[in-house]
Structure 1
Amino acid sequence: MIVRPGENEENGDVTQGDHPLSINPDSEWQTFFKDNEVLLQIDKDVRRLCPDISFFQQPTEFPCTEVVNSHGVKRLHTRVQRRVLKCANVERKGLGITKIALSVKKATEDYAPMTEGKEAHWEVVERVLFLYAKLNPGQGYVQGMNEIVGPIYYAFSSDPDITFREHAEADCFFCFTNLMSEIRDFFIKSLDESDQGINRMMTRMLVQLKNCDLDVWLRFQQLDLKPQFYSFRWITLLLSQEFPLPDVLRIWDSLFSDERRFDFLLHVCCAMIVILRNQLLEGDFPSNLKLLQNFPPMDVQVILSKAVELSQQKIF
């Protein structure tokens, strides 16, 4: 599944077989390089996961022994490790060079890898996403999936029962795969216009808003404030970026317990707008867009209660 070309070469001469410059479509090296393109994006995304808490930077209690004791060989992030080149600023006066200032710039890395024998939570999430991409080549990895898998992994790896925490990675992969089977249309551009595609979902949300609060809907039409500007992220990422992680878990608890969970998701989105109706009716385009893209902190129970109220109005 995870290709490591050259591992099985019995001698040093690989020119007669597979090698890094091979153009053979079945080449392990070709697969390796293509995988690294995906892995590079995953690595960037998981290092940014939930920056407001330190959980994903902490070591897991149950690291993968085969990986953490491989002297870094089997750690995925080492395949796309960043290299920083030295640079020099040259000041020139007339025809002569007067000064060369050599400097080395290093990017800050908050989510640093663990030492041998340890593994950070973000490394586990990276492995989950990479394996998912390998098992689903038709879809692959799409930026934003990290925001979906993060709360799932956090819930399992924070379980008070140690026997459940021990299997957090496997449980997370199973649940993430099942959830993605329901929301995969959100991440496939060619399906944007399908019944469960993102454009269709945003249209349904706007229709519901029109039925439950015509004044706000008219204000949005007047300002040409399209749902793509704010609700695309809400729906695609299941509100995982709009609230702190504990609030996301509370929202998801209600969301996933509902058989018509995606209808309820739209109710929650509409509730978020209706709750802000006074500010939205008074605001102009920039202020309203900023308000919707940076939803103000509030008790999520208020939002969920309003969503339940809207769901009982049967306005779809």
Structure 2
Amino acid sequence: PLNTDPNSHWKNYFRENEILQQIDKDVRRLYPDISFFQQKIARKFDSSDCDILSGRMNNSAHSIDVIKDCFGMTEIRKNKVYDQNQSFDHMAADSSDGEFHWQIRDIFNKHADSDRSSGIVSRMDRLVQILNKEDSELCQQINLIQGIKPHYYAFRWITLLLSQEFPLPDVLRLWDYMFSDENRFDFLLKLCCSMILILRDQLMSGDFASNMKLLQNFPDSIEITFIVARAKTIQAS
């Protein structure tokens, strides 16, 4: 434990345990009202399952320094585990899960936060462009007149793939639509724009405080299929 070599066995041991502890914290606070995310493992895993999980952890180790401190990454990954928990057959599809990981990596790359050509900033800029194209009056009302910048609400929408805006069953339905789209993360921005457009009447008549509250606490009474249908209309235009 006293070895000062940064590549020593003990350094790696403590670093890996720190990562596991952070993952455990993030998982438990994701959906505190759902027992799945609070309970201990209730069944044993086959050695083959553990080997697959171990391989995934090792493959991700090279990028953990980029994503471990970025808000939201663990929540998204664990939602996927929740969805696939009953069957480990999906775990054999390492390539598809790996593709998902690398496609969203730019969103959580803290080194790209100030770069408008990549990362989360570019995604939020793109969302404003889409909204302005669909409804320039509403876009001007929100962004210019009231000064509600997209990072006040869209940062969470995009980085967490809308997982905190709706009940988990609705989130999984929403993800079915999004991940089945060839341009899945561009479609995510269409979904975000759809959500804003659906709230148009309230946003046009509301003040800064009420609109901020509305955007940061999207009404879960709005049907998912309605949001998706509006997003597909935007995509087709």
TM-score by length of structure 2 reads 0.84
Distance 1:53 1:34 in 2: 29
**Structure 1 residue aligned with 2:50:** none
Q: Which of 63, 66, 84 is equivalent to 1:136?
A: 63
Q: How far off is 1:232 after superposition?
A: 0.7
Query: Any conservation in 1 of the 2:32–2:38 contact (CA below 8 Å)?
Result: no
In the alignment, is residue 23 of structure 1 matched against residue 4 of structure 2?
A: yes
Pair 1:53–1:25, CA change in 2 (3 A): closer
- The structure that has the greater radius of gyration is 1
What 5-or-longer segments of structure 2 have no aligned partner? 48-52
- Residue number among 214, 232, 236 corresponding to 1:308 in the alignment: 232
Q: Is the 8 A contact 1:264 1:307 kept in 2?
A: yes
The alpha-carbon deviation at position 213 of structure 1 amounts to 1.2
Structure 2 residue 102 is matched with structure 1 residue 181: yes
Output the CA distance in 2 between the equivalents of 1:172 and 1:305. 30
TM-superposition CA deviations, 1:38-58 (whole Å, max 9, x none):
333222111123223223345
1:206 maps to 2:187: no
Structure 1 residue ranges (4+ consecutive) displaced by more than 6 angstroms after TM superposition: none
1:59–1:23 CA distance, 2 compared to 1 (3 A): closer
Aligned-partner Cα distance in 1 for 2:223–2:96: 27
Distance 2:38 2:59 in 1: 22
Task: Tell me the residue number matched to 2:202.
Answer: 279
How far the C-alpha of 1:301 sits from its partner, in A, is: 0.6
Paired residue secondary structure (1:136): helix
Deviations 1:40-93 (A, max 9, x none): 322211112322322334566752367xxxxxxxxxxxxxxxxxxxxxxxxxxx
User: Is 1:35 matched with 2:16?
Assistant: yes
Decide which of 233, 241, 254 is 2:156's aligned counterpart.
Answer: 233
CA 189–233 in structure 1, closer or farther in 2 if over 3 Å, else same? same
Question: Can you give the 5+ residue segments of structure 1 that lack an aligned partner in the other structure?
Answer: 1-19, 67-124, 159-164
Instruction: Measure, in 2, the Cα distance between the counterparts of 1:145 and 1:288.
Output: 27
Distance 1:155 1:171 in 2: 15
1:248 is displaced (CA, Å) by: 1.1
Residue 155 (structure 1) aligned to one of 83, 108, 130: 83
- In structure 2, relative to structure 1, the CA distance for the partners of 1:155 and 1:231 (3 Å cut) is same
Aligned pair in 2 of structure 1 residues 131, 48: CA closer, same or farther (>3 Å)? farther
Counterpart CA distance in 2 for 1:194 and 1:255 is 24
Residues 218 and 305 of structure 1, relative CA distance in 2, 3 Å threshold? same
The Cα shift of 1:31 comes to 2.2
Q: CA deviation at 1:205?
A: 0.7
Letter in 2 for 1:265: L
Given residue 205 of structure 2, which amino acid in structure 1 is its aligned partner?
E
Residues 232 and 41 of structure 1, relative CA distance in 2, 3 Å threshold = same
Structure 1 contact 133–139 (Cα < 8 Å) conserved: no
State which of 235, 242, 264 in structure 1 corresponds to 2:187: 264
Percent identity over the alignment? 44
Matched to 2:160, the amino acid is: L
Higher relative contact order (CA 8 A, sep 6+): 2
Cα 1:39–1:57 change in 2 (3 A) is: closer
Q: Residues 44, 132 of structure 1: CA spacing in aligned structure 2 closer, same or farther, 3 A cutoff?
A: farther
Higher percent of residues as strand: 1
Please give the alpha-carbon distance, in whole angstroms, between the structure 1 residues aligned to 2:207 and 2:111.
Answer: 34
The CA distance in 1 between the partners of 2:117 and 2:191, in whole Å, is 19
Letter in 2 for 1:37: E
Give the CA deviation at 1:172: 8.1
Over residues 269-307 of structure 1, what are the superposed CA-to-partner deviations in whole Å (9 max), with x where a residue is unaligned?
A: 011000001111111112111111111012111101111
The separation in 2 between residues aligned to 1:219 and 1:295, in whole angstroms, is 18
Q: Which residue of 2 aligns with 1:54?
A: 35
Instruction: Please tell me whether residue 293 in structure 1 is matched to residue 216 in structure 2.
Output: yes
Spell out, residue by residue over 1:6-41, the C-alpha distance to the aligned partner (whole angstroms, 9 max, x if none): xxxxxxxxxxxxxx2221223222222333333332
Aligned residues: 230
